Amino acid sequence: MIPILPVPKRYAWGSLDRLQTMFGDGDTSVTQGSGPLAEMWFSAHEQLPGGTPMASDALIREESCGQGEEKSRSAEGDRNIGVRRVALPDLLKQNPEGLLGRVASRQWGPMLPYLLKVIAVREPLSLQVHPLDFEARRGFHREEDAGVPLQAPDRSFRDTRGKHEMVVALEPFAASVGFAPIARQIRALRSVTHPLPQRMADILESGEPSTPRIDAMMPESARVWSQTARRVFRAFALAASYGGDIGTVGLLDAAAGCVEGNAERLMLSNAMRAAQSFPADASALCLLMMNPVRLRKGESISIAPGTPHVYLHGLAAEIMTNSDNVLRAGLTVKYRDLPNLLRSLNAMPTPPAAPYVVGDRAFGIAGRLGGDRVVGGLLGGGRVVGGGYADEGVERAGMALYHPCVDEFSLIYGHVDGGRVAEWPLPMLAQDRPRIVVCVKGAVQCRTERPGGITDAVLTCGKAMFVPASDGLLRVVGYEKTGGDILLASTGI
Ligand SMILES: O=P(O)(O)OC[C@H]1O[C@](O)(CO)[C@@H](O)[C@@H]1O
Distance 231 CA to ligand 1 centre (A): 27
Does residue 390 carry a pLDDT above 50?
A: no
Task: Catalogue the E-assigned strands of 67-151.
Answer: 70-76, 79-87, 114-121, 127-129
Do 233 and 344 form a contact (C-beta atoms < 8 A)? no
In sign, the C-alpha dihedral spanning 153, 156, 159, 165 is: positive
At 406, which amino acid appears? V
Measure the CA–CA gap between 331 and 317, rounded to whole angstroms: 22
Q: Residue range 380-407: average pLDDT?
A: 52
* Structure letter (DSSP) for residue 102: H
Measure the CA–CA gap between 105 and 116, rounded to whole angstroms: 18
Measure the CA–CA gap between 7 and 101, rounded to whole angstroms: 24
The percentage of the chain sitting over the pLDDT mark of 90, rounded to a whole number, equals 68
Q: Does residue 126 line the site of ligand 1, with CB under 6 A?
A: yes
Residue 136: phi and psi, rounded to 5, are: -65, -45
3-state secondary structure of 399: strand
| Element containing residue 262 per DSSP (H, E) | helix 262-277
Concatenate the DSSP letters of all residues of 355-383 into one string.
PEEEESS--SSS---STTEE---BEETTE
Does residue 143 carry a pLDDT above 70?
A: yes
Measure the CA–CA gap between 182 and 91, rounded to whole angstroms: 49
3-state secondary structure of 411: strand
Distance 347 CA to ligand 1 centre (A): 20
| pLDDT for position 152 | 94
How do residues 329-366 score in pLDDT, each as one tens digit? 999 999 999 999 999 999 999 988 877 777 644 433 33
Does residue 478 carry a pLDDT above 80?
A: yes
Does residue 367 carry a pLDDT above 80?
A: no
Supply the residue whose CA is at minimum distance from atom 9 of ligand 1: 326
- The counts of H helices and E strands in the chain are 13, 24
Q: Does residue 11 line the site of ligand 1, with CB under 6 A?
A: yes
| pLDDT for position 334 | 97
3-state secondary structure of 94: helix
Measure the CA–CA gap between 3 and 30, rounded to whole angstroms: 13
3-state secondary structure of 153: coil
Q: Does residue 336 line the site of ligand 1, with CB under 6 A?
A: no
Atom of ligand 1 nearest to the CA of 125: 3
Of residues 213 and 141, more confidence is placed in 141
Distance 262 CA to ligand 1 centre (A): 28
| pLDDT for position 27 | 56
How do residues 410-426 score in pLDDT, each as one tens digit? 999 988 989 888 878 77
Of residues 245 and 386, more confidence is placed in 245
Concatenate the DSSP letters of all residues of 195-217 into one string.
HHHHHHHHHHHH-----HHHHTT
| pLDDT for position 373 | 29
Measure the CA–CA gap between 198 and 373, rounded to whole angstroms: 46
* Structure letter (DSSP) for residue 236: H
* Structure letter (DSSP) for residue 145: H
Distance 309 CA to ligand 1 centre (A): 10
Q: Does residue 432 line the site of ligand 1, with CB under 6 A?
A: no
| pLDDT for position 393 | 37
Give the N- to C-terminal CA distance of the chain in Å, as an integer: 20
At 26, which amino acid appears? G
Domain ranges of the chain: 2-174
Of residues 407 and 374, more confidence is placed in 407
Residue 421: partners with Cβ closer than 8 Å, 6 or more residues away: 475, 476, 477
Distance 371 CA to ligand 1 centre (A): 37
Distance 22 CA to ligand 1 centre (A): 20
3-state secondary structure of 447: strand
User: What is the interface pTM, i.e. ipTM, of the complex?
Assistant: 0.99
pLDDT confidence band for 29 (50 / 70 / 90): low
- The crossing angle, in degrees rounded to 10, of helices 262-277 and 248-256 is 160
| pLDDT for position 33 | 74
Query: Which of 478, 422, 436, 377 is CA-nearest to residue 2?
Result: 436
| pLDDT for position 210 | 66
Distance 482 CA to ligand 1 centre (A): 33
pLDDT confidence band for 211 (50 / 70 / 90): confident
In DSSP terms, 311 is beta-bridged to: 175
Max CA distance (Å), the chain: 81
Mutational pocket test of ligand 1: of 37, 128, 176, the residue with most ligand atoms within 8 Å of the beta carbon: 128
Distance 466 CA to ligand 1 centre (A): 24
pLDDT confidence band for 453 (50 / 70 / 90): confident
Atom of ligand 1 nearest to the CA of 39: 16
The percentage of the chain sitting over the pLDDT mark of 70, rounded to a whole number, equals 87
Mutational pocket test of ligand 1: of 37, 125, 302, the residue with most ligand atoms within 8 Å of the beta carbon: 125
* Structure letter (DSSP) for residue 225: S
How do residues 5-14 score in pLDDT, each as one tens digit? 999 999 999 9
| pLDDT for position 362 | 41
Q: Residue range 419-447: average pLDDT?
A: 88
Measure the CA–CA gap between 32 and 10, rounded to whole angstroms: 11
Q: Does residue 84 line the site of ligand 1, with CB under 6 A?
A: no
- From residue 8, how far is each of 187, 459, 466 by CA, in Å? 41, 19, 17
Residue 107: partners with Cβ closer than 8 Å, 6 or more residues away: 113, 407, 493
| Element containing residue 430 per DSSP (H, E) | none
Task: Catalogue the E-assigned strands of 246-369.
Answer: 290-295, 300-303, 309-321, 327-330, 356-359
For the domain bounded by 2-174, which CATH number is listed? 2.60.120.10
Do 483 and 432 form a contact (C-beta atoms < 8 A)? no
For the chain, the average pLDDT equals: 86
Query: Which of 344, 349, 324 is CA-nearest to residue 334?
Result: 324
